[in-house]
Amino acid sequence: MPSTPPFSLSMLDLVSVREGHTVAQALEVARQTVQHAERLGFVRYWVAEHHNMQGIASSATAVLVGHLAGATERIRVGSGGIMLPNHAPLVVAEAFGTLAELYPGRIDLGLGRAPGTDPLTMRALRRDRVETEEDFPRDVAELQRLLGPAQPGQRLIAMPGADTQVPIWLLGSSLYSAQLAAQRGLPYAFASHFAPRLLMQALDMYRCLFQPSAHLAAPYVAIGVPLIAAPSDDEAQFLASSIYQRVLGMLRGERRRMQPPQAGFMAQCTPPERAGIADFLGAAVVGGPDTVREGLQTLARHTGANELMLVCDVFDPALRLRALDIAAQVCSPPVPAEQEEALA
């Protein structure tokens, strides 16, 4: 069997609001979780922009990034991602430029090109803006200019923001962002935590087309991995029923708060529903320590990812921290110094 390449662990937090709990409690869980991830040696901790979803509390993404960075000392904190069609590049540059000045060397700016919401909310966010296919690459280029050194004669300057060199990542679940990240020489994160179908094709395209840049000399990849870890496979499957319920709700067009685990949930689903959940969570790793070790190492071997970005939604916050403990303990991968320095 081929050896597993070195990889790092990171985390993407949807900041789930649990049934029977408040938004304030969800934000506190996120604060405790990022502190725990830092203690475990995770490389970075991202939060995602979503809107008009009662079960997700990360809509004001830049505000939350600042809150989490202020609660930690070393771990990189960022967006996974800012949905760029919802924002003017100057506003994003000023927000993340401010964060970079407050927390030097610790802020990431991951960018997505989806709205992260429903059409009604999209219109409320964008007002009368009409998006075209050319907008996203143009806005990415503008952000790179605004976060880079001000040039002679440059009239539009982000203040704060200019010359902060906040690392920009491109995020995606299709081939579009893979190609753009390769052309720009930017790091790339694939959203395999909810859309794993094109994972390998996107990574192959990114690596094949990659052009070295001033930001990055070689391709650098993170992949989203839904993770539910527990002392046994049976307990992990029981805890995973919370995310199975969430996925089924999404497939049905129902958005609810995170539900407590439910014994025998999958047995209650129809075969098409089970197939839909399995397709959505095709990259998930669910199980006890041995299963988690093999699952994460297999993903790393199969994809060659530099980072596995865990999405760990467990209803009980204490058991969520335990799941991260298990992942860190069974992996404990050595991280080459050049990987740590590449995106510093």
Q: Residue 337 pLDDT more than 50?
A: no
Tell me the CATH number at 31.
3.20.20.30
Short-list 47, 75, 21, CA closest to 315? 21
Q: Amino acid identity, residue 224? A: G
Is residue 28 domain-resident? Answer: yes
Which residue carries 């049905």 as its tokens? 252
Residue 268 lies in a domain: no
pLDDT tens, residue by residue, 24-38: 999 999 999 999 999
Domain annotation covers residue 75: yes
9 neighbors 308 (Cβ within 8 angstroms): yes
- How far apart, in Å, are the Cα atoms of 101 and each of 104, 136, 159, 250, 343? 6, 26, 11, 38, 17
Please state whether the predicted TM-score (pTM) of the whole model is above 0.85.
yes
Query: Which pLDDT does position 4 carry in this prediction?
Result: 78
Asked, for residue 244, whether it belongs to a domain, the answer is no
Share of the chain above pLDDT 70, in %: 90
pLDDT band of 2, cuts 50, 70, 90: low
Question: Looking at the domain assignment, is residue 165 inside a domain?
Answer: yes
pLDDT at 118: 58
Digit-coded pLDDT (tens) for 115-125: 645 566 666 66
37 vs 339, residue with greater confidence? 37
- Band of pLDDT at residue 336, cut at 50, 70 and 90: very low
Of the listed ranges 21-25, 127-131, 197-201, 290-294, the one predicted with least confidence: 127-131
Q: Check pLDDT > 60 for residue 340.
A: no
Express as a percent the part of the chain with pLDDT over 90: 80
Neighbours of 264 (CB within 10 A): 8
Q: Rounded to an integer, what distance in angstroms lies between the CA atom of residue 299 and that of residue 223?
A: 9
Distance in Å from the first CA to the final CA of the chain: 33
| Sequence-separated (6 or more) residues with CB below 8 Å from residue 208 | 182
For the chain, give the mean pLDDT: 92
What are 13's two structure tokens? 């937090």
pLDDT of residue 133: 63
pLDDT in tens, 218-263: 999 999 999 999 999 999 999 999 999 999 998 998 889 999 999 9
Its domain, for residue 71, covers: 8-227+284-342
Q: For residue range 157-216, what is the model confidence (pLDDT) as tens digits?
A: 999 999 999 999 999 998 999 999 999 999 999 999 999 999 999 999 999 999 999 989
Residue 264 lies in a domain: no
Q: Looking at the domain assignment, is residue 23 inside a domain?
A: yes
Which among 200, 167, 201 is positioned nearest to 185, based on CA atoms? 167
> What's the total number of domains in the chain?
1
Dump pLDDT digits (tens) for 75-106. 999 999 899 988 999 999 999 999 999 999 99
- Residue 291 above 50 pLDDT? yes
Rounded Cα gap, residues 215 and 41, in angstroms: 24
Q: What is the pLDDT of residues 252-264, one digit of tens each?
A: 988 899 999 999 9
CB atoms within 10 A of CB 178: 26
CA distances from 144 to 48, 101, 246 (A): 20, 17, 36
Alpha-carbon gap, residue 168 to 187, rounded angstroms? 7
Name the E strands within the chain.
8-13, 44-47, 76-83, 107-112, 168-172, 188-190, 221-229, 285-287, 307-311
**Is 106 within 8 Å of 114 (Cβ atoms)?**
no
Long-range contact pairs involving 210-218 (C-beta distance under 8 Å, separation at least 24) = 210/182, 210/185, 211/182, 211/183, 211/184, 211/185, 212/185, 213/184, 213/185, 213/186, 214/185, 215/167, 215/168, 215/185, 215/186, 216/185, 216/186, 216/187, 216/342, 216/343, 217/342, 218/342
